[in-house]
Structure 1
Amino acid sequence: MAEIVQSKRALRELQTTKLHDFLKDSTNKPKLAALYQRLFDSPAFNNSRTIGVTLSMDDELDTQPIIHEALAHDIQVAVPRTLPHRQMEFVLLEEKTQLNQTKFGTIEPVNGTVIAKNQMDVLIVPGLAFSRNHYRVGYGGGFYDRFLKGFEGVSISIATPVQLFEQPVWDVETFDVPIDQLIFSEDQEGL
């Protein structure tokens, strides 16, 4: 097991900067396109009827290509809405769905059809750091770890080269829920 080198808070700060720099570098577009394609080629994605995915913000992996690909293949898309006590629910992204920016800067639905957790076949889980053994460091709210408890579909995360670690360099806690599938480039070496 890798030595724990930083707190999750310090790692989040470092990873936010590294991810920002990676995403803003136009030479990385082919790498990103290849990661999206690996997701689109995966059996879990292709066999889905409904996927859950965030509406990305600046400095996050752009989820619009995922949303467009799903809709183009008649896969329903559901997006999260935060609730009190660090809970969330997913709402179908439809023509009538109205979106609004929260006080935290995230874009969320303000109306729409809420779907049950067990109605999603795939959940695309965001994060800042991922280990090859499928643990992740998210953005610090704990929303996804709470939601993943009891989730029966397939949880998938996409790791860019700057987000992938051979082993966790953070403290994996008892409430951390590993994701089912991690998408990264085969030529990526762990950091």
Structure 2
Amino acid sequence: MKQPAIIVPEGCTEVLLHACCAPCSSAIVEWLMNNGVRPTIFYYNPNIWPREEYEIRKQESKRHAEGLGIKWIDGDYDHEAWRCGVQGLENEPERGGRCEQCFTLRLTRTAEKARELGFRFFATTLASSRWKSLEQIEHAGQKAMALVPGTEFWAQNWRKGGLQERRNQLLRENQFYNQQYCGCEFSARNGANTKPLLRAQMREAKRQHQSQLDKMSGEVVERLMPLVANSSHILAYWPLPDEVDIRPLVNLLFSDGKVVVLPRVTGDITMELRRYQSPDDLKEGAYHIMEPVGELFTDYDKIDTVLVPGMAFDAAGHRLGRGKGYYDRFLPQLSHARKIGVCFPFQRVAEVPTDEHDVMVDEVV
């Protein structure tokens, strides 16, 4: 690996490294360890939203540190306190005043932790991202250093000398989850303001989470079970490989005597419902979706619960589909039914862009 023009501060043999995520940490940590500096990872990122996204990034950072045998410290997650800290800056653009204030809050806490642990030097992996302002990061580090006497901020451009390329290589080698936005709800809102962009982000997120999808599906199904226990007629779906796998739930509901129906595409813009009997009664239909061939079901008034897949959902119940509009055209016929959006945790976003015809769900699991 090409050695970057990085100068280790005099007397620095260890550093408290604020880590925003595993991908951004990877090449920096490797360089430090190869150049006589022992890093301790401090994961402090209360800006990240929602909590599920925070936990995914945290676990990846911890996995990275444990794999290298270096110390990893978990900072507190207090998103509400962070929001108070950036109050009034919510509508600032990326690289605006909100970002610098966010950096200052996080680096000040890092400096406090460094002093608490007896570290003189602290640094941050934020300076490895090409999406961040190095000037803002340096200003934030200087402010933090001034607020916490006895500490010294190691201001460094960690993008040079091949570290960016090495980061991408380590990301692939370690199969790190690679987030699609900075972390906060304001970043997500500003960055994912079109449906095609958000769909692309979700496809990439699914790819990054591929090894975890089965486990996540099981957890979602557990949460769904009590919500549908008292339902008698359920409109479900047969999942594609990248959707929450509710097949165990579908079979359980059917074995419990519930009426389960599944959608079947019948034209360019329409779909119908057919009763589910068993996986043997399914055949591949439009878009490679397994569809029912059983009895046609038309008594829509009896359907009391609908399980709706989607590419992304927000807290208000807005849903992003795959772009064909089948559910948005069909669901108005089931206005009386309880609509439950079903998704993986990382598919919950701050805001889903909507059109007038888009149908909302009542809750998201």
TM-score normalised by the chain length of structure 1: 0.82
Q: Cα offset for 1:21?
A: 3.3
Counterpart in 1 of 2:255? 72
Structure 1 outlier segments of 4+, above 6 Å: none
Shift of 1:59: 1.3
Name the structure with the higher helix share. Answer: 2
Which of the numbers 145, 153, 157 marks the counterpart of 2:341?
157
Name the residue aligned to 2:360. Answer: 178
Number of equivalences: 177
Cα distance between partner residues in 2 of 1:103 and 1:51: 22
Alpha carbons of 1:88 and 1:116: their partners in 2 closer, same or farther (altered >3 Å)?
Answer: farther
Aligned pairs (5 A) from 1:49-88: 49-88=232-271
CA distance, structure 2, for counterparts of residue 149 and residue 121 of structure 1: 13
How far apart in 1 are the matches of 2:246 and 2:259? 14
| RMSD (Å) for aligned C-alpha atoms | 2.3
Instruction: Choose which of 25, 29, 38 in structure 1 pairs with 2:223.
Output: 38
Q: Match of 1:165, SS?
A: coil
- Structure 1 segments unaligned to the other structure (5+ residues): 184-191
Tell me by how many angstroms 1:162 deviates: 1.0
Residue 317 (structure 2) aligns with: 134
CA distance, structure 2, for counterparts of residue 37 and residue 158 of structure 1: 12
1:20/1:60 contact within 8 Å kept: no
Change (3 A) 1:103 1:40: closer
Aligned to 2:7: none
SS of residue in 1 equivalent to 2:333:
coil
Code of the aligned partner of 2:209: F
Q: Note the residue ranges of structure 2 that are not aligned, 5 or more in a row.
A: 1-185
Structure 1 Cα separation of the partners of residues 204 and 261 of structure 2: 28
From 18, 22, 26, give the equivalent of 2:205. Answer: 18
CA contact (8 A) 2:202 2:347 kept: yes
Q: State the Cα distance separating 1:119 from its structure 2 match.
A: 2.2
- Which residue identity does 1:17 align to in structure 2? E
Match of 1:124 among 303, 307, 310: 307
Q: Which has the higher contact order (CA 8 A, sep 6+)?
A: 1
Greater Cα radius of gyration, structure 1 or 2: 2
- Which residue of 1 is the match for residue 329 of structure 2? 146
> CA contact under 8 A between 2:254 and 2:277: conserved in structure 1?
no
More strand by share: 1
Deviation per CA, 1:131-188, whole angstroms, max 9, x where unpaired? Answer: 01100101111011111113121110123221001332xx2110011101211xxxxx
